């Protein structure tokens, strides 16, 4: 069967190998775990090989003591939230879509709007079971080699079977949100940094088509879980109500011109003008706050047949000059980025290949094409020179030479990965393209 990443840029012919009773029915010679296929590039596929998939039905989560849930790796964040929110618990970290599996969230060590405060997903995993080709099923806890290599390890150390995740207590299923419209990049950075001090969650949407004096203009949104006292009488009747809906999808064949530069400019202008200059205490549901794109099923098809590149990098603190330069390049670029997402990261976690580290992170969608790829190549150079890195779970096109400088713990990770999978059965198109596992020792 043919599969691709969410960006639909590269495709692979694969066979599905189900994971039954904690092990793959057979370790294929070349395979990689695949959950819901939300990584944008080629991380969860291997052309001519196998994808290791959870076998349905996935068992329900269960509590292991107060606030810690044991959840099967094939469970999606969506399923977990539908189960936990009515009980008054929220996932410790939620990425921009709830249609990722827990296994995928660990493999990419995903982050959310609360990274500045709570770190990435794996910071809240207390224990996980990992099926490995070399050492069988291993129980891994924070600090263990297996844990540090599997957190953010892109599925190349084994198949996560289940995980114990520390959840977050919530009183309501509502978010109390503040919004600020900012006219330029300096204001935006200051506003975000300030919001981080006050709010558990913060993010900024940045207009990547605005230039000149408006460069880096956007909307900063920050919030916290609302308390019952924040709710009006109607909402108090059922403060933990949670029933997110997904609207009908996008057809498979959208013409390429739907998202072009003039359309993007008009859209961004309208969106910027619509945002209030300043608003506080607005009540917003969990789904629109955390997962706005999930409202439209198959939105990735909006970019048409050629697909799109989602690019995300992080720059260390003190490199705001580079950040401004990158935003300029995107704004000037022949390949239009539409809306970017800007956020401050807190300190890195223990995952050896985890993406987040202290600094500024920017994510942007670009319609795929040679211009877009050339632009991103030049951004990689700037990011590497500034001591930053590109996010592997989103990457579809990076050059392998940047890998060691972006991920300085690569050598240590390779050593552990080779121990867990000595025959290198776990491989992906991402691994092949970037040489993540390293040279194949004469093979």
**Which residues would be at the binding site for another protein (CB under 8 A)?**
1-2, 13-18, 20, 24-26, 28-31, 47-50, 55-56
Q: Which CB, 57 or 143, lies closer to another protein?
A: 57
Q: Which CB, 17 or 163, lies closer to another protein?
A: 17
Q: Give the contacts of 273 (CB within 8 A, at least 6 positions apart).
A: none
Pairing of strands 62-63, 49-54: unpaired
Locate 111 and state its tokens: 């982050």
Closest Cα to residue 111, out of 189, 201, 36, 175?
A: 201
Shortest spacing between CB 24 and another protein, in angstroms: 8
Burial class (CB in 10 A: 0-12, 13-18, 19+), 157: buried
Shortest spacing between CB 303 and another protein, in angstroms: 23
Q: Which CB, 59 or 408, lies closer to another protein?
A: 59
Q: Which CB, 17 or 189, lies closer to another protein?
A: 17
Q: Give how far the C-alpha of residue 353 lies from the chain's centroid of Cα atoms, to the nearest Å.
A: 14
Closest Cα to residue 225, out of 165, 284, 295?
A: 284
Shortest spacing between CB 166 and another protein, in angstroms: 33
Q: Which CB, 182 or 430, lies closer to another protein?
A: 430
Q: Which CB, 13 or 381, lies closer to another protein?
A: 13
Shortest spacing between CB 235 and another protein, in angstroms: 39
Q: Which CB, 25 or 411, lies closer to another protein?
A: 25
Shortest spacing between CB 440 and another protein, in angstroms: 16
Shortest spacing between CB 1 and another protein, in angstroms: 4
Q: What is the 3-state secondary structure (H, E, C) of the chain?
A: CEEECCCCCCEEEEEEEEEECCEECCCCCCEEECCCCCCCCCCCCCCCEEEEEECCCCCCCEECCCCEEEEECCCEHHHHHHHHHHHCEECCCCCCCCCCEHHHHHHCCCCCCCHHHHCCHHHHEEEEEEEECCCEEEEECCCCHHHHHHCCCCCCCCEEEEEEEECEECCCCEEEEEEEEECCHHHHHHHHHHHHHHCCEEEEEEECCCCHHHCCCEEEEEEEECCHHHCCHHHHCCCCCCCCCCECCCCCCCCHHHHCHHHHHHHHHHHHHHCCCEEEEEEEEHHHHHCHHHHECCHHHHHCCCCEEEEEEEECCCCHHHHHHHHHHHHHCCCCEEEEEEEEECCCCCCCCCCCCCEEEEEEEEECCHHHHHHHHHHHHHHHHCCCEECCCCCCCCCHHHHHHHCCCHHHHHHHHHHHCCCCCECCHHHHHHCCCCCCCCC
Q: Which CB, 16 or 377, lies closer to another protein?
A: 16
Shortest spacing between CB 64 and another protein, in angstroms: 30
Q: Which CB, 15 or 227, lies closer to another protein?
A: 15
Shortest spacing between CB 30 and another protein, in angstroms: 6
Shortest spacing between CB 101 and another protein, in angstroms: 16
Q: Give how far the C-alpha of residue 281 lies from the chain's centroid of Cα atoms, to the nearest Å.
A: 27
Shortest spacing between CB 269 and another protein, in angstroms: 43
Q: Which CB, 3 or 302, lies closer to another protein?
A: 3
Shortest spacing between CB 431 and another protein, in angstroms: 15
Q: Which CB, 26 or 66, lies closer to another protein?
A: 26
């Amino acid at each position: 069967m043919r599969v691709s990443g969410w960006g639909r840029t590269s495709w692979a012919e694969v066979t599905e190998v189900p994971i039954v009773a904690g092990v793959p029915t057979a370790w294929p010679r070349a395979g990689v775990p695949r959950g819901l296929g939300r990584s944008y590039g080629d991380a969860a596929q291997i052309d001519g090989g196998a994808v290791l998939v959870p076998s349905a039905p996935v068992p329900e989560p269960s509590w292991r003591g107060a606030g810690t849930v044991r959840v099967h790796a094939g469970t999606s964040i969506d399923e977990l939230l539908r189960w936990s929110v009515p009980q008054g618990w929220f996932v410790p970290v939620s990425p921009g879509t709830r249609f990722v599996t827990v296994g995928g969230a660990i493999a990419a060590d995903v982050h959310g709007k609360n990274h500045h405060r709570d770190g990435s997903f794996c910071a809240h995993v207390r224990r996980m079971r990992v099926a490995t080709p070399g050492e069988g099923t291993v129980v891994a806890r924070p600090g263990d080699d297996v844990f540090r290599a599997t957190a953010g390890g892109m599925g190349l150390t084994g198949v996560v079977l289940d995980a114990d995740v520390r959840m977050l207590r919530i009183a309501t299923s509502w978010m109390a949100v503040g919004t600020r419209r900012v006219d330029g990049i300096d204001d935006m950075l200051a506003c975000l940094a300030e919001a981080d001090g006050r709010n558990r969650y913060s993010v900024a949407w940045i207009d990547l088509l605005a230039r000149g004096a408006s460069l880096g203009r956007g909307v900063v949104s920050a919030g916290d879980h609302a308390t019952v006292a924040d709710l009006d009488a109607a909402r108090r009747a059922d403060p933990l109500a949670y029933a997110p809906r997904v609207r009908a999808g996008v057809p498979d064949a959208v013409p390429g011109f739907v998202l072009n530069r003039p359309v993007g400019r008009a859209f961004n202008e309208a969106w910027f003008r619509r945002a209030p200059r300043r608003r506080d205490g607005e009540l917003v549901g969990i789904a629109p706050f955390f997962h706005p794109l999930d409202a439209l099923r198959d939105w990735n098809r909006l970019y048409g047949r050629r697909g799109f590149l989602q690019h995300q990098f992080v720059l260390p603190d003190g490199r705001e000059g580079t950040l401004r330069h990158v935003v300029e390049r995107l704004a000037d670029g022949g390949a239009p980025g539409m809306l970017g997402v800007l956020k401050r990261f807190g300190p890195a976690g223990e995952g050896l290949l985890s993406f987040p580290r202290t600094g500024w992170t920017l994510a942007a969608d670009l319609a795929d094409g040679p211009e877009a790829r050339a632009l991103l190549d030049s951004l990689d150079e700037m990011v590497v020179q500034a001591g930053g890195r590109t996010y592997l779970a989103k990457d579809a096109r990076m050059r392998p030479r940047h890998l060691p400088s972006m991920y300085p713990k690569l050598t240590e990770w390779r050593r552990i990965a080779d121990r867990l999978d000595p025959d290198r059965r776990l491989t992906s198109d991402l691994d092949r393209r970037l040489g993540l596992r390293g040279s194949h020792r004469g093979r």
